[in-house]
Amino acid sequence: MKTQDKPVLIVGAGLAGSLMAIYLAKKGLQVAVYESRPDMRTMTMSAGRSINLALSDRGIKSLREVGVLKQVLQEAVPMPGRMLHSKEGVLKFAPYGKDSSQYINSISRGGLNKLLITAAESYENVTFYFNQSCVDVDFESVTITTEHYQTKERVVVAGATIIGGDGANSAVRQAMLNNLEGYSDRVDWLEHGYKELNIPATKDGGFAIEKNALHIWPRGEYMLIALPNADGSFTCTLFFPNQGNISFESLDTPEKIKAFFEEEFADAVPNLPHLLEEFANNPVGKLGTLHCNNWIYEDKAVLIGDAAHAIVPFYGQGMNASFEDCSALSACIDASMEQQGTPDWKSIYAQYFEHRKANGDAIGDLAVENFYEMRDHVANPVFRRKRELEHTLENDYDDYHSKYSLVTFKPDVSYKVASELGNKQDKLLMKLCQDIDDVKKLDINTVYKQLKALR
Ligand SMILES: Cc1cc2nc3c(=O)[nH]c(=O)nc-3n(C[C@H](O)[C@H](O)[C@H](O)COP(=O)(O)OP(=O)(O)OC[C@H]3O[C@@H](n4cnc5c(N)ncnc54)[C@H](O)[C@@H]3O)c2cc1C
């Protein structure tokens, strides 16, 4: 196989950068990955930073393409639905899909990232450089300047092209901003932040609450969620206003925190033995949506993953979308290499951007909308009737898919199409459910026909 002289430079060995390295390695391309942090396989993870993630079919498709899916799923916990916890402690299970064959997977972020790095490193044409922060990019010479985090030694590295997989605060994107005419970006911050808490495994290593569910305590202005880990513990995330009457700012004493949790999340409290320490010590994370008008620079550079489209986590799609980027970029490279033997980066990047940008925008918007849905609507009777109706429709008609299913379980439908069709369906179903008190009063076949007319 023909290989280029200089390596493809990937900045960031996170989820997207490591997966992209595997895709490129399989094509026989030389790859050098520069990561600012130490090698996570030699470290213990710091507490309080998004320990587990929901992996769904778009991410699964990409992991299958590079041949690591089986290994990844070995450690995953399937979640076929949401378990809603009312203030009184009443539980209600709401399936995500039509039956238990449709589920999302709770996986360890660190475990997955380590697995991807090891899989990429198993190819002799891939080299990882840890502790090396990209501090400058020169697009004309296609070089990056890296700085060792301890010695501060700087090195200029030349590549065939540069892939920015360096997350929401991307240095590659910042360099584009400084160099590309007409380039602009902005972050829309939510007024809510998040804090992670932990439900440990029971003494005998079991799960303290239902294992196979994504638990939600929806409470209007805020919510608590919990995702299972393979070791019996759950990682909980409190999404909460940063400021105001009830906020991270206002819960400033152990007494206030304890009283608040006992009032709002009473059934969770006995399972949160370290609540007060964790609340005091774990950081508050920020939540924002990145909008940038360009992800590419001629044949010199491209952005993937959060570097291009960081989104809020409420559709559980940030990583899945990032993995889909890698798959899409890989397909564009394959097409180019098939035509002429070596990658024509300029046309590859143009095609990738054309294909992915609208989808990045769509999932960014969907994720913000789902924040309000998870927070308020799941406890709202009209929304619950709508979910019940959708569930019946999905069971009775193979070709009906709710918006959630389109986004989560249908990787062959783009985010853009899923969003457009899903929103039209939602509007109709909410209207129908507003006017009745029981979905059984609706003629399901008439509803189905109305929905079909929307396609
Ligand atoms: C609370 C929370 C929950 C989430 N839940 C889900 C979920 O359930 N499902 C889902 O699909 N997504 C979820 N996400 C989103 C998901 O975490 C991200 O979309 C995903 O991590 C993006 O991967 P990435 O590789 O693009 O970026 P990152 O994972 O941020 O990786 C970027 C890498 O680049 C490195 N880096 C940064 N700057 C430099 C530099 N200058 N030089 C060299 N290296 C650099 C970083 O150290 C890091 O290793 C969640 C996010 C949050 C915050």
Q: What is the pLDDT of residue 4?
A: 60
User: What are the structure tokens assigned to 247, written together?
Assistant: 């906020």
Per residue in 327-376, pLDDT tens? 999 999 999 999 999 999 999 999 999 999 999 999 999 999 988 877 76
Locus of tokens 């991270």: 248
User: What are the structure tokens assigned to 58, written together?
Assistant: 């778009």
Average pLDDT over residues 204-228: 95
Percentage helix, strand, coil for the chain under 3-state DSSP, each rounded to 5? 40, 25, 35
Q: 118-132 burial by CB neighbour count: b if 16+ within 10 A, else e?
A: ebbbebebbebbbbb
Ligand 1 site, residue 305, Cβ cutoff 6 A = yes
Question: pLDDT confidence of 56, banded at 50, 70, 90?
Answer: very high
Ligand 1 site, residue 392, Cβ cutoff 6 A = no
Question: pLDDT confidence of 2, banded at 50, 70, 90?
Answer: very low
Residue 72 burial by CB count (10 A; 0-12/13-18/19+): exposed, middle or buried? buried
291's CB contacts (< 8 A; 6+ apart) are 185, 186, 187, 188, 361, 364
Per residue in 69-116, pLDDT tens? 999 999 999 999 999 999 999 999 988 888 888 999 999 999 999 999
Q: Residue type for 59, please?
A: G
Ligand 1 site, residue 134, Cβ cutoff 6 A = yes
Per residue in 157-192, pLDDT tens? 999 999 999 999 999 999 999 999 999 999 999 999
| First CA to last CA distance, the chain | 45
pLDDT at 286 > cutoff 90: yes
DSSP state of 43: S
Percent of the chain with pLDDT over 70: 97
User: What are the structure tokens assigned to 77, written together?
Assistant: 């916990």
Q: What pTM does this model have?
A: 0.96
Ligand 1 site, residue 193, Cβ cutoff 6 A = no
C-alpha span between 336 and 299 (Å, rounded): 13
Locus of tokens 């899923």: 418
C-alpha span between 38 and 411 (Å, rounded): 34
18: nearest Cα among 157, 112, 104: 112
DSSP state of 269: G
pLDDT at 47 > cutoff 90: no
Percent of the chain with pLDDT over 90: 90
Q: What is the dihedral of CA 169, 306, 224, 432, to 10 degrees?
A: 140
335's CB contacts (< 8 A; 6+ apart) are 348, 351
Q: What is the pLDDT of residue 98?
A: 80
Average pLDDT over residues 209-235: 95
Per residue in 307-326, pLDDT tens? 999 999 999 999 999 999 99
371: nearest Cα among 211, 220, 232: 220
pLDDT at 131 > cutoff 60: yes
Per residue in 397-453, pLDDT tens? 999 999 999 999 999 999 999 999 999 999 999 999 998 999 999 999 999 999 999
Which atom belonging to ligand 1 lies closest to the Cα atom of 320?
A: 11
Closest residue CA from atom 48 of ligand 1: 14
Average pLDDT, the chain: 94
Centroid of ligand 1 to alpha carbon of 17 (angstroms): 10
Q: What is the pLDDT of residue 39?
A: 96
Ligand 1 site, residue 110, Cβ cutoff 6 A = no
CA-based Rg of the chain, rounded to a whole angstrom? 23
Strand runs (DSSP E) across 81-175, as ranges? Answer: 81-85, 91-95, 104-108, 126-129, 132-138, 143-148, 154-158, 161-164
Ligand 1 site, residue 11, Cβ cutoff 6 A = yes
Per residue in 107-121, pLDDT tens? 999 999 999 999 999
pLDDT at 49 > cutoff 80: no
Centroid of ligand 1 to alpha carbon of 95 (angstroms): 28
Length of the chain: 455
Locus of tokens 């202005």: 221
User: Angle of helix 345-375 relative to helix 318-340, nearest 10 degrees?
Assistant: 160
Q: What is the pLDDT of residue 3?
A: 46
115: nearest Cα among 77, 74, 78, 68: 68
Ligand 1 site, residue 165, Cβ cutoff 6 A = yes
Centroid of ligand 1 to alpha carbon of 279 (angstroms): 23
Centroid of ligand 1 to alpha carbon of 14 (angstroms): 6
> Mutation test of ligand 1: which of 319, 322, 363 has the most ligand atoms closer than 8 Å to its C-beta?
319
Q: For the chain, how long is the longest CA-to-CA vector? A: 72
Ligand 1 site, residue 317, Cβ cutoff 6 A = yes
C-alpha span between 105 and 52 (Å, rounded): 10
